[in-house]
Structures are given as C-alpha cells and as structure tokens.
C-alpha cells in the first residue's frame, strides 16, 4: 500500500480515493491477466508492484496524449505485470548488445554501387507492403520468453519476400535459426539462441552455408536453447537466402530500400514503455540509439496529422500494438532504427 502511494506521488499523479486502490490491478487480473498464475503470495505481490509501475507509465502517457505532447498511447497489455527481469528476457542480454555493437562497428555497408542509380525521385508519401503483396502476410507470431527477436525478424523478412513476390504465405522455422546459428561466430558471441543475436549474422550464415529454412509446421518453435542440435536435413520445402544486403541508412535511403527490396529488418531499443505500446506514433525522447536490444521489421511508412512514421511488425503476439503492428516516429532517427538495416532475397 505504502509503495503504491509513494510511486504515484513521485510520479506527480493525483491520488485517487484509497477505496479504489488496486482497482486497475483487480480489473486487469480479471481480464487481460486472467490466465496468469503466480507461485505464491510474494510472487503475486512482486507482479502487482510491477503492474503499478506500468500503471504509472500508462497514466502519464494518457495525460501527455490528452495535452497533445505525444502521438501514441500505451495500454495495460499482457506485459503490464512483468517484472524488469521478465521483460529483459524478451530482449537481447547485455553481452549480446555489446557483441552486436562491436560487430556493427566493423561492418561496411554491403549495398552495391549501382544501387544509387535506381533512386526513385518521386518517393511515394506513404506505402504499406501489406497492400502490394501477392499473398497475405503470415500471422503475427509470439517469441515468448526467449530473446529470439532476430530469428523472428529475419525469418519474417524472408516470409515477406515469399508473400510479396512469390504469392506464398508460409511461416518459416524460427527454431531452426536458433538451433543452427548458435555461436556460428564464437569470436563475436553471435548468435546466442534465446540470449540474442543479429539478423545480419542469420542471413550471412544461411547464405554462406546454402542452408534452406524449413517451415514452422515441420520444425516447430519451442523457444528453447538446443545447442548444437541443427539437423543435417529437414522435411518439406525449404527456403534459402539468395543474397542479402545491409546498410546504415539515412531515413530517406531506408525509404528507398524499403520500396525497392521489400520489408527490412531494423534494430531498436525496447524500453518498458515500448513494451506497453498500444496505438499511434511511438517516440521516445531519451532513447540511447547505441543501446539496441530488439529487432523488428519495417514494412512501410506514412504520415498522420503532419507526423511521419514507419510501420513496423513485431513478434510479441497480437496483443502488442495494433494486432502486433506499430508505428514509430520517422525523421528523428528514432532509437537508432535506421542505423542497422538488412534485407534478404529468397530462393527455393
Ligand atoms: C496467388 O495464389 C492464389 C492461390 O493459389 C491465386 O488464386 C491467386 O490468383 C494468386 N495471385 C497472384 C497475384 O498471382
Ligand atoms: C550510422 O550513421 C550515423 C550517422 O552518420 C551515425 O551516427 C551512427 O553511429 C552510425 N551507426 C552505425 C551502427 O554505424
């Protein structure tokens, strides 16, 4: 009780009548969190406190949104009761973030020289690959309690190629990527299963080894580390990386590359606030663009009431954002979003 009031006071939020204390928590437990179970009373209390922190962020956001200071809203979604440790599991750990940084700093853009000759001077003001795809994109997936964002983002970039250009809707095996790219480069500690990894390393390994990724239906996702369990062969159709590119883009170049090649994997710093994102154009003032710990896919862009945004696809289930998709402010180099971009071409 004390801590809740204390937190509310610290956050400068006007306190409600004590009789409504934890009303939101009870409501959340009865709805969004009805399937959550806790080990014991202490465990439940820990999660109730984590929820109160989320509640503060949501209330602050509501005020800021009403004043027109921000263009997005947060929600008490299924992440609302997660402790910081539980939220961290979804992201790359510190070792992976560091390894990623080192790897990126030695990377030269792989875009061919002639790429500059295809610049589209009449860039469309808005674009969404979902509207220009031959087949429907596969359903949004949920990486669960595993820092496998890089597997989901890189495999979705391949799935998008198949849908857009080949009229194939399929889900490619994220577990195969976890099992097969584990420690492919021990020097850099990339990739490390559920601890984190990099889209570029994934494309590189698949390309260099000529390995085809099987479909999820034959190689299911368990979200576990299964070190050195990469199978020599798999059943059913498989899909290979024919080529891949990566670049540290200006946002205009990212726009051009997106139009030219299809959806692009991008890194982002994922804060607790980002995990509670619901709708609108997300923006964070104090985002360290060097601290990238999550990977998502840019699938389009646009503008709303004079605010430019990217459309991104996440891998945190359909309850995050708008059915698993979100919008991120464009033109502000948001959280390092355009700094490391990559995209594959697929063959089968
Ligand atoms: C995509 O495939 C479906 C089903 O096989 C077919 O009906 C449709 O015409 C195809 N669309 C395009 C654009 O090729
Ligand atoms: C990308 O370019 C920007 C602007 O030149 C720079 O600030 C940033 O550090 C670069 N990022 C990487 C990962 O090289």
Q: What residues contact residue 140 under an 8 Å CB cut-off, 6+ apart?
A: 313, 314, 315, 317, 318, 323, 324, 325
Closest among 99, 320, 109 to 195, alpha carbons compared: 99
DSSP string, 168-192: ----B-HHHHHHHSTTSBTTTTB--
pLDDT exceeds cutoff 60 at 117: no
Quote the ligand 2 centre to 79 CA distance (angstroms): 31
Can you tell me whether residue 126 is helix, strand or coil? coil
Nearest CA-CA partner of 197 in 343, 299, 336, 295: 295
Could you say which ligand is closest to the alpha carbon of residue 339?
Answer: 2
User: Dihedral of the CA atoms 312, 110, 251, 58 (nearest 10)?
Assistant: 40
Domain ranges, ordered by start, for the chain: 2-69, 91-347
pLDDT at 89 over 90: no
- The protein residue whose alpha carbon is closest to atom 6 in ligand 2 is 339
What value does the mean pLDDT take over residues 78-91? 90
CATH number of 91-347: 3.90.70.10
Look at residue 111 in the predicted model and tell me its pLDDT.
58
* CA–CA dist 91, 294 (Å, integer): 6
pLDDT score for 71 = 97
Q: What is the pLDDT of residues 287-326, one digit of tens each?
A: 877 788 999 999 999 999 999 999 999 999 999 999 999 9
For residue 228, what pLDDT band results from cuts at 50, 70 and 90? confident
- Asked whether the predicted pLDDT for residue 2 surpasses 70, the reply is no
Higher pLDDT, 28 or 8: 28
Question: What is the mean pLDDT of the segment spanning 214-228?
Answer: 93
Note the pLDDT tens digit of each residue in 174-191: 999 999 998 776 666 789
pLDDT tens per residue, range 234-275: 999 999 999 999 888 789 889 989 999 999 999 998 989 999
Pick the atom of ligand 2 nearest to 248's CA. 1
Q: What is the pLDDT of residue 112?
A: 52
> What average pLDDT score do residues 138-143 get?
98
- Nearest-CA residue for ligand 1 atom 5 is 167
Indicate if the pLDDT at residue 10 is higher than 50. Answer: no
For residue 258, how far is its CA from the centre of ligand 1 (angstroms)? 23
Give the Cα separation of 134 and 337 in Å (integer): 27
Name which residue leads in pLDDT, 231 or 288.
231
For the CA of 336, the nearest ligand:
2
Provide mean pLDDT across the span 194-213.
93
Predicted confidence at residue 335, as pLDDT, reads 86
Nearest CA to ligand 2 atom 12: 339
Q: Distance from the CA of 133 to the center of ligand 1, in angstroms?
A: 11
Q: Over the stretch 326-342, which tens digit does the pLDDT of each residue have? A: 999 999 999 888 888 99
| % of the chain exceeding 70 in pLDDT | 89
The residues assigned a catalytic role are 149, 294, 314
pLDDT of residue 91: 84
> Which pLDDT score, from 0 to 100, does residue 213 have?
98
d(CA 112, CA 148): 29
- Residue 218: pLDDT over 90: yes
* Ligand at shortest distance from the CA of 166: 1
Q: How far is the CA of 241 from the centre of ligand 1 (A)?
A: 23
Give the atom of ligand 2 at the shortest distance from the alpha carbon of 338.
Answer: 1
Average confidence (pLDDT) over 124-137: 94
Which has the closest alpha carbon to 264: 302, 301, 297, 309? Answer: 297
Tell me, in angstroms, the distance from the centre of ligand 1 to residue 137's CA: 13
Residues ≥6 apart with Cβ < 8 Å to 312 = 266, 268, 296, 297, 298, 299, 325, 326, 327, 328
Res 346 pLDDT > 90: yes
Which residue has its alpha carbon closest to ligand 1 atom 2?
167
Write down the pLDDT at residue 292.
87
Mean pLDDT of the 199-214 span: 93
In this predicted structure, the answer to whether residue 20 has a pLDDT above a threshold of 60 is no
Find the mean pLDDT for residues 122-130: 87
Q: Look at residue 121 and tell me whether its pLDDT is greater than 80.
A: no
- According to DSSP, the β-strands at 325-329 and 277-282 are parallel
If you average pLDDT over residues 127-142, what whole number do you get? 96
Which atom of ligand 1 is least distant from the CA of 134?
Answer: 13
Is cis: bond before 191, omega within 30 of 0? yes
Cα four-point dihedral sign 107, 112, 113, 119: negative
Q: Are strands 294-304 and 307-313 parallel, antiparallel or unpaired?
A: antiparallel
Tell me the three state secondary structure of residue 231.
Answer: coil
296 pairs with which residues across the strands?
A: 266
Closest ligand 1 atom number to CA of residue 167: 1
Greatest alpha-carbon span in the chain: 67
């Amino acid at each position: 009780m004390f801590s809740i009031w204390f937190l509310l006071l610290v956050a400068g939020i006007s306190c409600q009548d004590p009789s409504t204390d934890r009303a939101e928590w009870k409501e959340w437990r009865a709805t969004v969190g009805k399937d959550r179970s806790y080990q014991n009373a202490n465990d439940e209390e820990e999660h109730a406190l984590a929820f109160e922190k989320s509640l503060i962020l949501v209330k602050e956001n509501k005020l800021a949104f009403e004043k027109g200071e921000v263009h997005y809203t947060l929600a008490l979604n299924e992440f609302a009761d997660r402790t910081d440790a539980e939220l961290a599991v979804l992201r790359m750990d510190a070792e992976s973030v560091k390894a990623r940084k080192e790897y990126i700093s030695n990377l030269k853009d792989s875009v061919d020289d002639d790429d500059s000759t295809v610049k589209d001077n009449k860039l469309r003001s808005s674009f969404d690959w979902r509207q220009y795809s031959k087949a429907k994109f596969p359903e949004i997936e949920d990486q669960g309690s595993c820092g496998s964002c890089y597997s989901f983002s890189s495999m979705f970039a391949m799935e998008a190629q198949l849908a857009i250009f080949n009229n194939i809707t399929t889900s490619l095996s994220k577990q195969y990527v976890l099992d097969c790219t584990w420690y492919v480069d021990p020097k850099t500690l990339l990739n490390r299963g559920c601890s984190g990894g990099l889209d570029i390393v994934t494309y590189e390994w698949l390309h260099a080894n000529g390995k085809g990724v099987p479909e999820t239906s034959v190689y299911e996702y368990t979200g576990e580390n299964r070190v050195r369990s990469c199978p020599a062969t798999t059943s059913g159709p498989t899909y290979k990386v024919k080529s891949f590119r990566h670049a540290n883009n200006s946002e205009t170049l990212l726009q051009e590359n997106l139009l030219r090649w299809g959806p692009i994997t991008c890194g982002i710093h994922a804060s607790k606030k980002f995990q509670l994102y619901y709708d609108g154009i997300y923006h964070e003032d104090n985002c360290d663009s060097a601290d990238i710990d999550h990977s998502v896919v840019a699938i389009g862009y646009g503008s709303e009431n004079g605010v430019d945004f990217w459309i991104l696809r996440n891998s945190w289930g359909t309850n995050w954002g708008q059915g698993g998709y979100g919008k991120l402010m464009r033109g502000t180099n948001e959280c390092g979003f355009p700094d490391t971009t990559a995209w594959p071409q697929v063959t089968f």
